[in-house]
Structure 1
Amino acid sequence: MMANLAVLSFVIVAVGTAQGLSVRDFPEVNDRPIIGVIAQASEGARAKFGKTYIPASYVKYLESAGARVVPIRVLYPGGGVDMFTSGYAKSAKIFYDLALKAFDEGDYFPVWGTCMGFEQLTALTSDRNVLTTCKGTGNKSYKLNFSKDYKSSRMFGKVPVDILTDMATLPLTPNFHEYCLTPQNFTDDAKLKSFYKILSTNTDDDDMEFVSSMEAIKYPVYGVQWHPEKNNFEFGSLLKITHSDAATRVSQAMANFLVSEARRSQHKFASPEEERSALIYNYTPVYTGTTAAAHFEQCYFFD
């Protein structure tokens, strides 16, 4: 199944013929893109439903822009947050290595990481832990402090100007993380600095500056520390997420970018039967938003 997926979404996902890529002229011919999303280990109250899970908001987010989803079920889900030893990390490395190799051979294979997926990308590229503990970023929404040349980036280059203005002036990007990549750590790591460019930063409530958006210079690899899917699909009472018109437009714009990039991949399953059997439509989401502290309204669970 691995080679048939258009994009990898580490709990994550998704990219283009735009500036900075060495492989040119990928035709947008795949109007049935399928995006693989890696499951992560279930912990706490979620563990009773299955060993691994995918938040349904990731699935809805991708479907809202015209993609379908295939769950990537890790074989060894233990250590769900470890960036080097967990099943999540091992699965992510397989796809990351495949994606770079494919691109070097002229085959488009985009990769996107959200939050823990962003952090996983830093480990995959640098081969070490470059993150710093940051305590002021849990359940917070920020405006993005864009880098100077962000408008020429692939990630933000086609986002409408009014949406970019909202992202730069309003707190529309939800953050739920305990670890950060500081600009200094990014600059000090030769592998990261030569592989990615920073597109935005933020400063948390403890005055810790961290990288919030980045994209690879050569490859179609993207990462955001924030959660673009939550504005439209997560409504927990304790979650400080705005659901304003501006916030939902940001979410949709990022989903549109992801899926438009996935369409540039011509990967497909060997048969319609194999495709149908792999899709997440074969699973039923569980309503997990019944407690005030719930982080996800619904999740898909796997054993």
Structure 2
Amino acid sequence: MSTTGFSTYVWLFFACCFCCSKAMPTKLNQEATNDRPVIGILTQIVSDEVMKPFGRNYIPSSYVKFIESGGSRVMPIRLTLTSDEYETIFSKINGLLLIGGAVNLETSDFATVAKIFYRLALRANDKGDFFPIWGTCLGMQLLTVLVAGEDLLAKTTAENVALPLNLTTEAASSRMFEGFPNKLMRALTREPLTGNFHHFGLTVKTFQENEKLETFFSLLSTNVAENGVHFVSTIEGKRYPFYGVQWHPEVNRFQWDRKLNFPHSAHAVQLASLLAEFFVNEGRRSLHQFDNPEEEASVLIYNDTPVYAGNFTGYEQIYFF
């Protein structure tokens, strides 16, 4: 081969390599992330007479701060909209928080609207459109009703008591507790880090005997109620990014009533922080977005002002709508 021919061959070889390199993606299977997530929080109907002068719906500010502390914004979701409006909201937010309270889990507006979002989330996740849901106390109970198709709750009173968790073997491989420091995981089983304020719950026996629940959820922790009944205290979906806690992580950092057993130790605060970051990171995996920044800004909770409620409720502040 002549020198000229060899040079031409070398040039063609590198040109071909360059073209091939331009055609190949620089990163394969990179998971997209959304660093401006918006988590929707479903409001509760005001039923307490002392709260009625302030509005028809409410969200305790501790839930809002819990989500914001994880790095997300919050959109309050009223209970008076149409199904089409909820479907539109679903397409724009990046996750849903179902808060605690006291309503009928089958017939209330709270349950009806939650069911709409639950079904939308199932369908979306089945199609690869990631959408997480978190339920706290009543919210977790509602998730079990939605999955089981019936209310299976029993009396499991743990009212105004802070407890450690009885972690199951599944907790070690869970998404929720993944990456938790070993020291915190030990503390979680030995120290009263979880505030409980409930009269009803799902018994471990009922969970284990219900095929729908046991197939859908992993049981991560249990606790013992005042009447000696073992109840489910932490769950996460096996296939779907749905999470539930019978206890209240938001109180560890944002509620201070001296009459109530809100855990405020360093480990309790660390637990709440990591859980908030975990759920918001799940929200970052959702690529739903608003049509424009103006629309987004118009629905965020920054447009509302919380009311000081420490003198007539156990909450420091409440948003009313």
Number of aligned residues? 273
Q: Gaps (5+ residues) in structure 1? A: 1-24
* Residue from 170, 191, 203 that aligns with 1:182: 203
Q: Give the letter aligned to residue 41 of structure 2.
A: V
Q: Secondary structure at the match of 1:178?
A: strand
Q: CA separation in 1, counterparts of 2:263 and 2:156?
A: 22
Runs of 4+ aligned residues of structure 1 deviating over 3 Å after TM superposition are none
Higher share of residues assigned helix:
2
Q: What does 1:97-136 correspond to in 2, within 5 Å? A: 97-135=119-157
TM-score normalized by the length of structure 1: 0.87
CA RMSD of aligned residues (A): 1.4
Please name the residue that 2:31 is paired with.
27
Q: Gaps (5+ residues) in structure 2? A: 1-28, 82-100
Contact 1:80 1:86 in 2 (8 A): no
Q: Does residue 144 in structure 1 map to residue 149 in structure 2?
A: no
Please name the residue that 1:205 is paired with.
226
Q: CA separation in 1, counterparts of 2:315 and 2:30?
A: 36
**Per-residue deviation, residues 133-172 of structure 1 (Å, max 9, x unmatched):** 123x011110000001311101111222221111111011
**Per-residue deviation, residues 10-29 of structure 1 (Å, max 9, x unmatched):** xxxxxxxxxxxxxxx67252
**Per-residue deviation, residues 60-108 of structure 1 (Å, max 9, x unmatched):** 11111111000011018xx960111111111100110000100001100
Q: Taking every aligned residue pair, what percent have the same amino acid on both sides?
A: 46
Q: 1:241 to 1:184 in 2, by over 3 A?
A: same
Give how far 1:249 is off.
0.8
Please name the residue that 1:215 is paired with.
236
Please name the residue that 1:18 is paired with.
none
Q: CA separation in 1, counterparts of 2:170 and 2:141?
A: 23
Please name the residue that 2:250 is paired with.
229
Q: CA separation in 2, counterparts of 1:28 and 1:83?
A: 35
**Per-residue deviation, residues 104-141 of structure 1 (Å, max 9, x unmatched):** 01100111100010010011001101100123x01111
Q: Secondary structure at the match of 2:231?
A: strand
Please name the residue that 2:298 is paired with.
277
Q: What does 1:252-263 correspond to in 2, within 5 Å? A: 252-263=273-284
Q: CA separation in 1, counterparts of 2:317 and 2:31?
A: 35
Q: CA separation in 2, counterparts of 1:160 and 1:28?
A: 27
Q: CA separation in 2, counterparts of 1:242 and 1:85?
A: 33
Q: CA separation in 2, counterparts of 1:134 and 1:224?
A: 14
Q: Give the letter aligned to residue 302 of structure 2.
A: Y
Q: 1:140 to 1:31 in 2, by over 3 A?
A: same
Q: Secondary structure at the match of 2:169?
A: coil
* Residue from 86, 109, 112 that aligns with 1:90: 112
Q: CA separation in 2, counterparts of 1:222 and 1:29?
A: 20
Q: Secondary structure at the match of 2:219?
A: strand
Please name the residue that 1:3 is paired with.
none
- Which stretch has the larger CA shift, 98-107 or 162-171? 162-171
* Residue from 47, 50, 56 that aligns with 1:51: 56
Q: CA separation in 1, counterparts of 2:109 and 2:295?
A: 24
Q: CA separation in 2, counterparts of 1:52 and 1:193?
A: 34
Q: Give the letter aligned to residue 175 of structure 1.
A: N
